[in-house]
Amino acid sequence: MGVGNYARVKKLDKVYAIGTLAEYISKGAGCEYFKTKEEFLEKVGKEIIFSEGDIILVKASNGMKFREIVEKLWDII
């Protein structure tokens, strides 16, 4: 089972797919897709809000420097 299908079946509250290679995940999960991490970073904390108790899993490629996403998430939570 693909990652996107797994996310859909498990009925996760929030799934965000980021990067051109993650587009297939968004299709399987029926989730919001961002072509670039910059697009995601523009919305997180403004349009994308996390609540106390949320569990955030970042599965990412270090080649895209996704640690910047983790750093931004730490700043807003």
Residue 18's φ and ψ, nearest 5 degrees, are: -130, 130
Tell me: pLDDT of 61 over 80. no
Q: What is the pLDDT of residue 1?
A: 56
Tell me: pLDDT of 70 over 80. yes
pLDDT in tens, 6-25: 888 888 778 888 988 888 88
CB 66 within 8 A of CB 60: yes
Tell me: pLDDT of 42 over 90. yes
Q: What is the pLDDT of residue 53?
A: 83
Q: What is the pLDDT of residue 66?
A: 85
- The string of DSSP letters for the chain reads --HHHHHHHTT-S--EEESGGGHHHHHHHT-EEESSHHHHHHHBTTTB---TT--------GGGTTHHHHHHHHHH-
Average pLDDT for 37-47 = 91
